[in-house]
Amino acid sequence: MNPDPLLSLNGVTIGYPGHPVLDNIRLTLHRGDCAALLGANGSGKTSLLKTIAGILPTLHGSLVTHPPNGPRPVVGYVPQREAFDDVYLLTGYDVALMGTFGRVGAGRFVTSTEREFVHECLRSTGAGELARRPFSRLSGGQKQRVLIARALAARPDLLLLDEPTSGIDSTTCAAIMALLKRIHAERQLTILLVTHDLGLVRRHLETVIWLADGAIRQGLVTELLTQERLNELLHLS
Amino acid sequence: MQTFIEILSPGFLLRNAVWTSLLIGLACPLVGVFFVLRRLIFMGVAMPQISSTGVAVALTLHVWFGHYHGPHDPTERLLAFAGSVTFSLLAVLWLAFLERRGRGLVEGRLGTAYVVSAAVSILLLAKCPQAERGWMNLFKGEIITISSADLGLTLATFTVVLFLLWLFNKEFLLVSFDREMAITLRKNVAGWDLLLYLLMGLAISIAVLSVGPLISFGFLLIPPLIARLFANTMRQFALLASAIGGVGALLGFVLAYHWDLPAGPTDVALLGVFYAIAFFAAKWRRSRHQPEISSEQSSPAA
């Protein structure tokens, strides 16, 4: 684990007005972390991810970025693929291009340099050939590659992925995890991904954040995913 | 063909109606594209009706003050415009609030707003026969009495609305397609939503004032729905919708003039015919390409 913190939550309550999901939580993400966010259904994984992304405001307390007076880290967000409406006639490139909109002012056009960068992001995620294909007709794995390219096009400091491998076959799943590992190694990005797949976490990741009983446990895969700890976390002992 | 040449000649008596009809036909579908994208079809139906209630309120203001047979002079046109804009914008803000809150049956509320506003309009106008005639003409889509000033106002309003929709297209597209991504990119999502709704409201209010609610919602919704069946990109979607609207408006006017029919209902009925033909054509096209698409989708997943 890198000692240099990127952001932390100290005594933060998250959830929805009148319906807190996690109360008084403490969590620190370090620069260069590549962590999995695990937990049972309804444990608050997506709520926590959305709070870190800035989509969901905290109910109490605040999210502190480091250094506190420095610029806020840029977030590359990869939502669940099912979130998109097929009525939009967008190509893979159109979707990936949206990643640059954070840097391009309102009413301004995306420059050719940015456009080339988007193509580069698509190529780097193995989605170069999907640029002209309709996004709505892509397979689950193909959509995921385009969405990761879009997140990279934002030039993020922090990459957040909401269940990037759910509903995808094991070969594609492994390919996406290999892609994320490569991106992590090449760009030294901080990556946090929500998943249910313990095997996948064991094979590809080093750090785990586990949500259980409204509390957060953070540690290395080798420490937290041992049989004893799993029995304890899942109340199987 | 002779009728077509006649209505396009500069000396044609109803030229303002022709140009307004064509302008509405070309411009309304470009606004309507956002109704379709955001799945606000019901809103596209309810909004023009609510806007026309604003016109009814404005036209009967004198009745409210006890003057049942008050004069109807040209300045009331301005009052009608103010009524239309006010009601459209208030309705758009209310509907935006409902959509944002995301609770309850939004379609049910829109349907209620539609019927209640129609009923209120009729009740308001019942006490003023002169205003009732004017409003009924508007409601039926009688567009022959459009003045040059109305045409100018319609052109100016649509120029502003379409320019802003074009200028901020990427922002409107982003907040519509992926609101959460827009937030992570630190876009003012509520602000962009509001601007989009205000532009929609402004376009509807001027369209309703010029050609009435029937033609307005016909051109807002039907051309984009037809274009969606054939377009492959967002640009094609918008341009095709506008072209269909323009052709429908012009052809509708020619047919109405030739057969001495009211132009508005003719336009909308013609768009309905276009939609029916397009629907079956698209179905036939899909059935021909189905095997191709299936094989494409079954290619390696990632």
State the complex-level ipTM: 0.89
Record the tokens describing residue B41, joined without a space.
């079809």
Span between the terminal Cα atoms of chain A, in Å: 29
- What are the C-alpha distances in Å from A43 to residues A129, B180, B201, B256, B267? 38, 21, 42, 63, 55
- Compute the half-sphere exposure of residue A168: CA atoms within 13 Å on the CB side of its CA: 29
Question: What's the gap in Å between the CA of A23 and the closest CA on chain B?
Answer: 23
CB-based contact (8 Å) between B290 and chain A? no
Reported as a pLDDT band with limits 50, 70 and 90, residue B300 is: very low
User: What pLDDT shows up at residue A43?
Assistant: 85
Spell out the residues 6+ positions from residue A233 whose beta carbon is closer than 8 angstroms to its own: A210, A212, A217, A224
Q: Going by DSSP bridges, is the β-strand pair A190-194/A75-78 parallel, antiparallel, or unpaired? A: unpaired
Question: What's the gap in Å between the CA of A104 and the closest CA on chain B?
Answer: 10
User: What pLDDT shows up at residue A116?
Assistant: 95
Closest CA relative to residue B55, chosen from B108, B148, B128: B128
Backbone φ and ψ of B67, nearest 5°? -100, 90
pLDDT, tens digit, 9 for 90 and up, residues A201-211:
888 888 899 88
User: What pLDDT shows up at residue A173?
Assistant: 83
% chain B with pLDDT above 90: 38
Test mutation, B175, B184, B298, chain A, max A CBs within 10 A: B184
- Chain A: residues touching B (Cβ < 8 Å): 50, 53-55, 75-77, 79, 83-85, 87-91, 94-95, 98, 101-102, 104, 106-107, 110, 126, 134, 137, 139-142, 144-145, 150, 154, 160, 168-169, 171-172, 175-176
Q: Residue B251 and residue B116: Cα distance in Å, rounded?
A: 33
CB-based contact (8 Å) between B190 and chain A? no
CB A45 within 8 A of CB A36: no
Touching A: B residues 38-77, CB under 8 Å? 39
Reported as a pLDDT band with limits 50, 70 and 90, residue A233 is: low
CB B84 within 8 A of CB B55: yes
- Residue A80, burial from CB neighbour count under 10 angstroms (0-12, 13-18, 19+): middle
- Check CB contact under 8 Å for A172 and B236: no
User: What pLDDT shows up at residue B235?
Assistant: 95
User: What pLDDT shows up at residue A59?
Assistant: 93
pLDDT, tens digit, 9 for 90 and up, residues B234-271:
999 999 999 999 999 999 999 988 898 888 889 999 99
pLDDT, tens digit, 9 for 90 and up, residues A137-186:
998 889 999 999 999 999 999 999 998 887 778 887 888 888 888 888 88
| B230, pLDDT greater than 80 | yes
Question: What's the gap in Å between the CA of B227 and the closest CA on chain A?
Answer: 11
pTM here?
Answer: 0.85
| B301, pLDDT greater than 60 | no
pLDDT, tens digit, 9 for 90 and up, residues A187-199:
888 999 998 888 8
Reported as a pLDDT band with limits 50, 70 and 90, residue B67 is: low
Mean pLDDT of B62-74: 62
A89 → closest Cβ in B167, B181, B234: B234
Q: Which helix (H) or strand (E) holds A24?
A: strand A19-30
Record the tokens describing residue B99, joined without a space.
């959509």
Tracing tokens 């905290």 back to the chain, one arrives at: A58
Backbone φ and ψ of A162, nearest 5°? -100, 105
Q: Going by DSSP bridges, is the β-strand pair A158-162/A75-78 parallel, antiparallel, or unpaired? A: parallel
Question: What's at A206, amino acid-wise?
Answer: E
Reported as a pLDDT band with limits 50, 70 and 90, residue B302 is: very low
- Mean of per-residue pLDDT scores for chain B: 84
Q: Which helix (H) or strand (E) holds B78?
A: helix B76-101
Reported as a pLDDT band with limits 50, 70 and 90, residue B66 is: low
pLDDT, tens digit, 9 for 90 and up, residues B154-173:
999 999 999 999 999 999 99
- Residue A237, burial from CB neighbour count under 10 angstroms (0-12, 13-18, 19+): exposed
Q: Residue B87 and residue B99: Cα distance in Å, rounded?
A: 18
User: What pLDDT shows up at residue A72?
Assistant: 85
User: What pLDDT shows up at residue B296?
Assistant: 45
Question: What's at A8, amino acid-wise?
Answer: S
- Rg over CA atoms, chain A: 18
| B293, pLDDT greater than 60 | no
Does residue B74 have a cis bond before it (omega within 30 degrees)? Answer: no
Closest CA relative to residue A72, chosen from A14, A158, A147: A158
Sheet of A5-16, strand order:
A19-30, A5-16, A63-65
- Check CB contact under 8 Å for A54 and B297: no
User: What pLDDT shows up at residue B298?
Assistant: 44
